[in-house]
Every structure is written in structure tokens, then in C-alpha cells.
Structure 1
């Protein structure tokens, strides 16, 4: 688990402890050892995220009270990365409970509250505590908060992408398409956001393929491939070429065009050691060639 290393934390912890007239033993009771509190205050030990939250609850202050502004942003990023990793591993229950505790405190910083709300709603849906329509409404309200109270392009894009995915998962394809079109009208004016745009375009084109809008899907795929090459971003380039092959098949393109797309996808998957994708592409390519042979025999 990630640790916070700023000496600011130790100084803030000592100040807040004394403000509450607590001894190190009092503060540590039920949370950690007195020795650990002593080491943190002296700057020789770094607390984990979990420990820092436990101490913030005991002292009845937001976690941001331990941090300077620069460290607050670093900690927000660290917590987001941790939550995202756990979410991708489907650890929905623990994220839900952690988010619920944070949101019940009423003393966390606004940025932390907004972040935890995002995960809270998604995990509530994954745990079937709310339906997808309720989740979408809550996420829409959250995006309004980000737009009016704490503008964050990356979070707006992430929230709207989650809404589009929820629509898609529940077969409301036209609603999903409408949201994706709305997302692509946003400004992607940094390298990080361009990378995110590529991933969004890839997801959007998958929906268009499912909705049989092949020409529009192919146009988006080609744009995403071009941007991936321009920014030297290979994160989904192989998947884009594989998708292009599928799209070209459905549009009745030439054998050379289709095989060319699949071969580029295979090369990229091999380059990046994505063996499972290699097997899938090999199977798709083989099936395509068999179909060509059977049609010509």
C-alpha cells in the first residue's frame, strides 16, 4: 500500500493531537501502536492511506488537514489510483464501505468527497443496491458538481464515459451513442486527455459496431489510429486494428484490406506480449480465410 512521506504530516499530526489534548497512547488506541505515532510525528515513519484515514477520523478532521496543497493533489491522485485498481479487480464491497464512511463524515475536503461519490455510485450499482437508471441520475448530478463547483475535464470525461457504458450494458444503445457524441465534443487539450480520447473512441466504435453503424465506426477507428500513431500511444492500437478488421469485413472490403488490419493487430499484440489477444486474432483471421475459401469453392 502507498505511503505518505511528507514531514508535513508528522508536524500536523502532533499539532492536531495536542489540540485535542490527546497523548500518543490515546491517539493510537485501537488504531496502531504508540511507537508508530511517535515515529510518524518525528518524521521517521510514513503512514499508509488507511492509517491516515483512521487518524483523521479519530481527530475529526479531513485527511487534507495533514497535507499542504501540493500534497493534497498528490494524495488525491494516489487514492484515485488505489480505488481504480481495486474497482478493476471488482473489489466493489470494500470500496462501497470505505466510500460510505468518507461520505458520512461531512468533514472531508470537497475534492475527496466528489471522488468518493463517483466510486460509491458505481459500486452501489455493481452490488445491485441501486438500478442503472438511478446510478446514471446520480452520476449526471455529480458531473454537474464537477462542471460548476470544481471544474475537472478528466473527471467529467470519466463520469460521462461511465454513463455511456451503463447505457450500453443495459442495451440502451442510442442513449449510449448520444452520450459518446457529447463526450467527443469536449476539449481534449492535454496529452493525457488525448490518450483518454483514444480509449473513448475505441469504446464508442464498439457500440457503433453493435448498432450496425459500420461506416461511422470505421471513420472513428481511423481517427483513433491516426491519433495513436501521432502521440505514439500503443495502449489500444492493437485493439483498434482488430476492430478495423471486423468493421471492414462487415462493410465487404477487399481481402487484402481486412487481412492487413488483422496482421497489424497481431503484430502489435505480439510486440506487447498480449498473448490472449494474439490467440483471438489468429482465430478470427483463420476463420475469415476459411470463409473466403468456402465462398470461392
Structure 2
């Protein structure tokens, strides 16, 4: 379907007129060019002049002009509805625009506005679809900045949908585009690399996490600005801890703590301090870690459920490594009373308690903790935690004289591991 601009261009060429000739004495040739490419809409008076030179009646263009005016009015009304937080009504109006969009609108702007409305309404899959359209519009215009922002935004939404691997793919595409176009300076690159670093941490890809967080730090130094620097230092320290570069990990987490303290981010500082304890424990500096966490305990309110849970959890783990089993039971008991406890954390604590009960000869209590803990584990291939529960349960059976059950389970577990082609993290399967 021909637009107003296309109709004017066709008639001008039919009469062998240049844009300058059509514009002469009325407007500039540049304005005629914008009208023909639908980037500008002529007034009714201007349209009459153009129609006269093209030897047609102005009514020839009236329906096209009305359509453009109606669409523009609908768009302006939609923007007003967005400002008033009436997102569903705004989307309904935006959807009345002619698709594909007329050149009088910036497609990427409209798609972004619709995506934001869908996010506000909780329709995240629809938001992803709109951001995909932003990416397409960016590629069509060879607009790297628009494309990178589209990749970044769709990754954020996918992360909320817990589709982390797909989010990583989009963020990696954004990073690749930025690397291919080094002359384009975009501060959003900091967030892209920070997000990638977090994904790599979750995937236990420690080296990639380290590299992407280091790139994020380099970009922050280049751009300056208001970025969550503490989180980048915190993520980098976690990656370094897993790579057993403990001194460097401690240096980075201390930097993160200092940044949070300066910003008066009390909770952020507390979380980093707990991470510091984890680094000390992982480095087998148990007594130093214990002293450090105990000092934290007095500075955190008991009403802060999440932080107190983290402290109880960390203390229970440290007490295990220093053979203070009464301390493990006491701290795990306080942690298990917290309403905010995550299933994996609860399972880990119940495993510790089961091991202590086995050592104390309390098989019944151990089996009770094992069953409670196993119910918390997600279905799927056996994890190291699942294998650890199986190992403790076999120890219970051996203590109860049920050697045949222990042997049968070992054989079943071995068959399952072979069938899933998975090497167990815990290699000590005892019978």
C-alpha cells in the first residue's frame, strides 16, 4: 500500500519534476525529501500547493493525510496513557498503528515503549517479543547502539523468567557487537559484562566469570558514572575464590565492603562481609573465619532474617570443619527456624546434622534428617548433595545391620550414574 510520501514521489517523477522544482517558491527541497520518505507530514495548505503542481486535486491525498494525522494522535494519546500508568490502554492504542510502522515513527522507540508497558503488566514473554523487534530494527538501520540496547534489555527480561542460558546468549551477542565496533562507546557495556559475569558464576564457569568481571571493571574505569561497582568487585572475588586465588579474592571483597560502607549500604556491606568469611573458610583459615563471623553477629539485627540466616549457616559450616559438633547443631537449629531459608541451604544443614547423628550413634535421628533433606532436592540427575545423602543413609544401614540394603543401593546408584553419563562429584561411595 502506497503511503502519502510514495504517492507524491510517483506523481513528481511522472511529471519529470525534481524535488527542487516541486519545492520552488513553497518549501525547501529537503522538506520535500522528508515528506516523500514519510519522515514529515505536510500541512493542509502545503499539500494544496503540492497537489496543484502535480496537477491533481488536493482531495487525492486527503485520506492519506487523515490516516497519518489519526495515527499520530493515537500515538500521542498512548504516550499520555503511559505517563498516567494506564499501560493496557496504551498498548491497545499503540497496536492500532499501521504495522509495519510508518517511517514517521521511530520503530525502535515504539517497540521499546510497548515492551516497557508489557513489563509493567507482568507480560514478560510479550516484552521479549518487543525487544526482539527492537533488535531487528537496529540491524535494519545498521544502528549498533539500538541493537546492543535491545540485546541488553531482552537479557534482563529473560533473567527474570529464569531462562539464564538464553539471557547469556543475548548478552554475549551484545558483547560481541561492542568488540566488533570498538569506536562505539556505550556505558551499558558495563552492565552487559556484569550480567555475564553473574551468569558465569551461577554456571560455575569460574574463569569466564573472572574475565568478564575484569572487563566490567576496565569499562567502569573508562566511563565512570553511577554503576554498582561493589557488586562487580564482589562477583570477581567469588570467582577468584573458586580459582583458589584467595589473597586476591580477599583484596577485592575488602574493596567491595569499603565501597558499600562509603555509600552507607549497610546490607550490601554485611553481605560482602559474609562473603569474606566464606573466602577465609574456603582457604581453610577456619579460626580466622570463625572469629570474623562472630564479630559480624553482634552488628546484625536479629530481625534481619536473611542476613542472620546467612550468619547461622556460615557458623554451622565453620564449626563442622573445626570439629565443634555441638556448635553445628546449635547454629543449624537456629537457621532452620528462619522462615526465609532456601531449600538447598536447608538440605545442606540437614546433611551436617545427619552426619553428626550417625557419629553419635543416633541412627533414627540421622534417618529423619536425611528424609527431610532429600525431599528438598530438585528432581533430575544426581547432584553432589544427593550423593552425600545417599552415602550417609548407607552408613545408617550399616550401623543397623542392613548390609544388603546398602550394597543394593550402591549398585543401583552406580547404574544410574553410568546411564546418565555423569561423574559423581563425591567419589567416596561407601558400602
Check conservation: 2:148, 2:174, Cα contact below 8 A: no
- Structure 1 residue 220, shift from structure 2 partner: 0.7
Residue in 1 that maps onto 2:246: 214
- Structure 1 residue 198, shift from structure 2 partner: 0.8
1:169-199 Cα deviation digits (max 9, x unpaired)? 4443223222322332334464613xx2111
Check conservation: 1:202, 1:224, Cα contact below 8 A: yes
Check conservation: 1:177, 1:208, Cα contact below 8 A: yes
Task: Give runs of aligned pairs for residues 59-78 of structure 1, distance below 5 A.
Answer: 59-60=102-103, 61-62=105-106
Distance 2:193 2:75 in 1: 45
Greater RCO, CA 8 A, separation 6+: 1
Distance 1:172 1:213 in 2: 15
Distance 1:115 1:46 in 2: 22
Distance 1:115 1:248 in 2: 39
Residue in 1 that maps onto 2:275: 243
Distance 1:51 1:142 in 2: 34
Q: 1:115 aligns with which of 149, 163, 167?
A: 149
Check conservation: 2:128, 2:154, Cα contact below 8 A: yes
Distance 2:107 2:150 in 1: 13
The unaligned stretches of length 5 or more in structure 2 are 1-39, 45-63, 328-431
1:194-218 Cα deviation digits (max 9, x unpaired)? xx21111111112222222222111
TM-score under structure 2 length normalisation: 0.46
- Structure 1 residue 25, shift from structure 2 partner: 10
- Structure 1 residue 16, shift from structure 2 partner: 6.1
Residue in 1 that maps onto 2:56: none
Distance 1:165 1:51 in 2: 36
CA 295–158 in structure 1, closer or farther in 2 if over 3 Å, else same: same
- Structure 1 residue 104, shift from structure 2 partner: 3.4
- Structure 1 residue 245, shift from structure 2 partner: 1.1
Task: Give runs of aligned pairs for residues 171-250 of structure 1, distance below 5 A.
Answer: 171-188=204-221, 190=224, 192-193=226-227, 196-234=228-266, 236-250=268-282
SS in 2 for 1:186: helix
CA 131–260 in structure 1, closer or farther in 2 if over 3 Å, else same: closer
1:212-234 Cα deviation digits (max 9, x unpaired)? 22221111111111222223233
CA 295–179 in structure 1, closer or farther in 2 if over 3 Å, else same: same
